[in-house]
Amino acid sequence: MLIDTYGRVATDLRVSLTDRCNLRCTYCMPEEGLQWLAKPELLTDDEIVRMVRIAVTELGVTDVRFTGGEPLLRPGLTGIIQACAALGPRPRMSLTTNGIGLRRTASALREAGLDRVNVSLDTLRPEVFHTLTRRDRHHDVLAGLEAATAAGMAPVKVNTVLMRGLNDDEAPELLSWALDHGYELRFIEQMPLDAQHGWQRTDMVTADEILTALGSRFRLTPEGESVRGSAPAERWLVDGGPGRVGVIGSVTRPFCRACDRTRLTADGQVRNCLFAREESDLRTALRSGASDAEMAALWKAAMWGKKAGSGLDDPAFLQPERPMSAIGG
Ligand code: SAM
Ligand code: SF4
């Protein structure tokens, strides 16, 4: 098991498949992009599958989420999913994507074994999408969402970050749209993980503000702590259900005490927290002939030292060196 000194057990693995992206969301990356990882630094498809195999067969991981950067940019994605679906026990697999290219790939991903998808979409207005992502691809994301539903991935979730003065007036409209289309919407508080280090607490649209805005149009009933479990989203039934909405208050309502995550970066570093400033290099061991048991022992050691919390409320908090796009959001 991947247990830490506080007794938390990690069963949910986030795998970043690339640090590259075809959008430039202002809360994530600068307009010019970033210094991308060089190809030899990236784990190969086979190395990724081996790491997932070790996690699933030796370490008790039950859920694997592929992310990035933009994971649909990884040429071997379908093959990676297919190989992971053949593992025993088979992990549940999901993907977090900006949705560009999903129209073309959704059914092949589903056939390969992908169970669920989270598509990030922050606005229903194409011009606001352009301002937020610096690209004119709003229609591609909508088409990707439709393709995910058509391919039978359920529930299709939508991740939304609200930015003050840009899309913070859209919360009720987004929820109404999501309910109409059968998508499960989750609002995520903006976190200090942007490459530009531009995050300001005072600019952040808080979970409370989001709930107040939604409450002006909908009746929200909490689903309760038992349902939240280790899930970061607090969930509400909308107008009595069955539709629901989630709010991930990573900053103002942290869920560190129940965290069950472990993370693998595209260049083979294990991270025990999104906000950790330390990483454990497993790639060197992987490429030096380490056995599965040796790799598992290194992974366990990396998780053992996980801190109690993100440290966001500590005045001495420092952002991790890597931005969200390179850690894997
Ligand atoms: N490119 C894919 C996407 O956008 O879904 C996957 C990677 S992205 C880093 C994963 C999620 O992190 C997205 O839902 C995105 O909106 C969110 N995200 C990125 N930067 C963020 C930040 N500073 N605060 C909160 N969420 C952020
Ligand atoms: Fe790309 Fe996702 Fe970051 Fe937007 S949030 S720039 S889509 S990695």
Sorted by where each starts, the structural domains of the chain and their CATH numbers stand as 2-327 (3.20.20.70)
pLDDT in the model for residue 228? 57
Of 192, 185, 164, 141, the C-alpha closest to 324 is 192
Q: What is the C-alpha end-to-end distance of the chain, expressed in Å?
A: 23
Whether the CB-CB separation of 129 and 173 falls below 8 Å is answered with no
User: In this structure, which ligand is nearest to the CA of 16?
Assistant: 1
Using the mean position of ligand 1's atoms as its centre, give its distance from the Cα of residue 292 in Å: 32
Using the mean position of ligand 1's atoms as its centre, give its distance from the Cα of residue 28 in Å: 7
Cα 221 from Cα 223, distance rounded (Å): 6
Using the mean position of ligand 1's atoms as its centre, give its distance from the Cα of residue 23 in Å: 11
Nearest CA owner, ligand 1 atom 11:
329
Cα 116 from Cα 295, distance rounded (Å): 28
Whether the CB-CB separation of 147 and 102 falls below 8 Å is answered with yes
Q: Which atom of ligand 2 is nearest to the CA of 96?
A: 2
pLDDT in the model for residue 106? 98
pLDDT in the model for residue 137? 98
Cis-peptide into 155, omega within 30 deg = yes
Using the mean position of ligand 2's atoms as its centre, give its distance from the Cα of residue 27 in Å: 8
Q: List pocket residues of ligand 1, CB cut-off 6 Å.
A: 21, 27-28, 67-68, 70, 96-98, 120, 159, 161, 188, 190-191, 193-194, 324-325, 329
Whether the CB-CB separation of 56 and 2 falls below 8 Å is answered with no
What strand order describes the sheet that includes 269-271? Answer: 220-222, 234-238, 244-248, 184-188, 156-161, 116-120, 92-97, 63-67, 12-16, 261-264, 269-271, 280-281
Cα 133 to Cα 104, 173, 194, 219, 328, distances in angstroms? 21, 20, 13, 31, 18
Q: How does pLDDT run along the chain (329 residues), one tens digit per residue?
A: 999 999 999 999 999 999 999 999 999 999 999 999 999 999 999 999 999 999 999 999 999 999 999 999 999 999 999 999 999 999 999 999 999 999 999 999 999 999 999 999 999 999 999 999 999 999 999 999 999 999 999 999 999 999 999 999 999 999 999 999 999 999 999 999 998 888 988 889 999 999 999 999 999 999 875 555 666 789 999 999 999 999 999 899 888 999 999 999 999 999 999 999 899 999 999 999 999 999 999 999 999 999 999 888 887 788 888 888 999 88
Using the mean position of ligand 1's atoms as its centre, give its distance from the Cα of residue 293 in Å: 33
pLDDT in the model for residue 255? 86
Q: Is 96 in the pocket of ligand 2 (CB under 6 A)?
A: no
User: In this structure, which ligand is nearest to the CA of 73?
Assistant: 1
Amino acid at 199: W
Using the mean position of ligand 1's atoms as its centre, give its distance from the Cα of residue 156 in Å: 16
Collapse the DSSP code of 104 into the 3-class scheme (helix H, G, I; strand E, B; otherwise coil) and give the result.
helix
Residue 295: which H helix or E strand, with range? helix 292-304
Strand runs (DSSP E) across the chain, as ranges?
2-3, 9-10, 12-16, 63-67, 92-97, 116-120, 156-161, 184-188, 220-222, 234-238, 244-248, 261-264, 269-271, 280-281
Q: Which atom of ligand 1 is nearest to the CA of 21?
A: 1
